[in-house]
Amino acid sequence: MKKLLKTDKIESIRHSLAHILAMAVLKKFPQAKLGVGPVIENGFYYDFLLKGQGTSDMGQGTTVEINLKDIEKEMRSMLKQNLDFKREKLTTAKVKKIFKEQPFKLDLIKEFAKEKKEITAYHTFSDKGKDTIDKEFKNPVTCHMSHVACFFDLCRGGHVSNTSEINPDAFKLTKISGAYWKGEQKNPQLTRIYGVAFETKEELKKYLWQQEESLKRDHRILGEKLKLFTFAEKVGPGLPLWLPKGTIIREEIENRAKKVEKDWGYERVATPHIAKEELYKMSGHIPYYAESMFPPMKLDDGNYYLKAMNCPHTHMIYKSEPRSYRDLPIRYAEYGTVYRYELSGTLAGLLRTRGFTQNDAHIYCREDQVEEEFLKVMKLHEFWYKNVFSITDFYMRLSLPTKNKDKFANIPEGWEKSVEILRSTMKKSGLPFIEAEGEAAFYGPKVDFQIKSVIGREETASTNQLDFLATKRFNLTYTDNDGKEKPVYVIHRAPLGSHERFIAFLIEHYAGEFPFWLAPVQTTVLTVTDRANSYAEEIVKTLKNKEIRVSYDQRNETIGKKIREAELQKIPYIIIIGDREMESKTISVRQHKKGDLGKMALEDFLKLADK
């Protein structure tokens, strides 16, 4: 048997567990009608119609109480029987005979016949059940006699060869829901049982922890609790309003980005929020991208659009003067706000909005500079994720066009050359990457950086493109050393994506406990008694002079209550000032989640905070 790759192996495990789930349900409900049982992200499910005895039509099932723990227990018992999986090709006649009392399987067979698909099935059986495979036993789909365990189901595969390859402690049934057959309301509603599965018990434990944590870390809930952003009905859905604390996070990231980009050779530019229709016709956004743009505004000199992308504006800056080969590469960076018409049902807090501000830049370079420039872009991403935000789980996705040419610029030689350059550069980067069809931009292939938080949530943090269409549409050229005009290559890059999506990711990644440099309030000063107010104000003043973001709580409340409230706001450091601190000219310091750090001089605290 061919050795499976890790991704193949876990899919085979999950697929096999779906069959074992069906076996366990059929043992408890022998008259159940089987739907489908595919692999899904992190697990599997199986659909059943649970009915009374002797019914074989596709009517609704009766209400049946299902105990997931009992079914799990039965599944584990079956796994320990070392059941084998065996594939078999079937004729339509034979499969109709075998599944004559399984209406949903017969429905699938009709589809297979129309599409002329090969029909295959898998046996699951014990050693004692081998003799039953080619015989007509009482229930041809499943049998659970005292000496036999066997199951037969339509399936493309793949599966493990034997249940001994599945860790019985590395799966869990998670929930039950309703699901219409084929997803259509006119069809019967089935009972869907979901499960998750991994290769090891540790992976399962981590996944369950991540799921539990994800509820606590939802950026929409934390954003409200920490007073970072809000939405207003009269402003409109998908248009976030940044509160003072959230604005601090935005500006800290932007300020650091400006410094980093300056060090990496970028120049800053700024472009307007609207432009004439002619610009977007030239860029190709109309017609390729018009459905994602807001409707035009009719002015006295023609139609204007809110910009959906910064690039057409930046191209006009490049075109504002003649360029020589000596000028290249030119790297223009901008935190530019763009607007996209997203359907209201797709909006999701800060993760999907109608207005957002991008960490955007456009690099104009010669052909001989493309690989080096794109490699620098990839290394800049790595710098941000690993060095600045401690995000270690990320990979690149090379997004390619589909065969439907209507959605992509029809320039075959441009696509071929661009894809070749990107593949070569991605390999040289040493960073992990995959390829995906259908995700390219209309003007060229793109490289998406996918990042994962500590709770396993994956987001597209950044999209970067190699654009061969812009140079044609905008006539972007430079004068080479031979005096001839040559087209430039354009690289679009945005390592931090948009403020909105990236900050939503960070909120969940850090659980709202931002690193000191990014925390909206870095420390708070709490007084124990009014007598300490004068000394506390001196401390606050010194901290502000050192450009530390500090709040001051001198309310007439107990110190315990003040500390609890500061902890709930996830402030990195709490400074407590009472009579003893005032007398000794020291401060008492608490660190979020770590507790009391003891008394220290203010100078020592400043050194601690600077680490």
> Three-class SS string for 309-344?
CCHHHHHHHHCCCCCECCCCCEEEEEEEEEECCCCH
Can 362 be counted among the known catalytic residues? yes
State the DSSP string of 65-76: ---HHHHHHHHH
Quick one: CA torsion of 48, 50, 54, 56, rounded to 10 degrees?
A: -40
- Residue carrying the six token digits 């009972």: 191
Whether 85 contacts 124, CB under 8 Å: yes
State the DSSP string of 199-222: SSHHHHHHHHHHHHHHHHH-HHHH
Number of other residues whose CB lies within 10 A of the CB of residue 160 = 20
Number of other residues whose CB lies within 10 A of the CB of residue 595 = 9
d(CA 81, CA 385): 47
123 annotated ligand binder: no
The residue from 358, 465, 522, 569 that is catalytic is 358
d(CA 362, CA 261): 12
- Give how far Cα 552 sits from Cα of 112, 463, 560, 592, Å: 71, 41, 15, 17
**Could you tell me which of 86, 101, 78, 65 has the C-alpha nearest to residue 22?**
78
Can 381 be counted among the known catalytic residues? no
- Residue carrying the six token digits 């069959």: 19
| Residue 544 phi, psi (nearest 5) | -65, -40
The residue from 340, 376, 381, 570 that is catalytic is 340
Whether 453 contacts 506, CB under 8 Å: no
* Token reading at 288: 């390729």
| Residue 488 phi, psi (nearest 5) | -90, 160
SS3 content of the chain, % helix, strand, coil (to 5): 40, 25, 35
Is the four-CA dihedral 315, 320, 322, 323 of positive or negative sign?
A: negative
Whether 132 contacts 166, CB under 8 Å: no
Can 311 be counted among the known catalytic residues? yes
Name residues whose C-beta falls within 8 Å of residue 536's C-beta, 6 or more positions apart in sequence.
525, 527, 552, 554, 577
The residue from 360, 369, 376, 452 that is catalytic is 360
The residue from 446, 457, 501, 562 that is catalytic is 446
Can 365 be counted among the known catalytic residues? no
362 annotated ligand binder: yes
The residue from 14, 217, 492, 499 that is catalytic is 492
The residue from 311, 323, 448, 452 that is catalytic is 311
Can 360 be counted among the known catalytic residues? yes
Whether 71 contacts 24, CB under 8 Å: yes
- Residue carrying the six token digits 């014990």: 126
State the DSSP string of 470-490: HHHHTT-EEE-TTS-EEEPEE
Strand-pair partners of 121 = 88, 154
147 annotated ligand binder: no
Residues assigned a catalytic role: 311, 340, 358, 360, 362, 446, 492
- Which residues make up each annotated binding site? 311, 362, 492
- Which residues make up each annotated binding site for Zn(2+)? 311, 362, 492
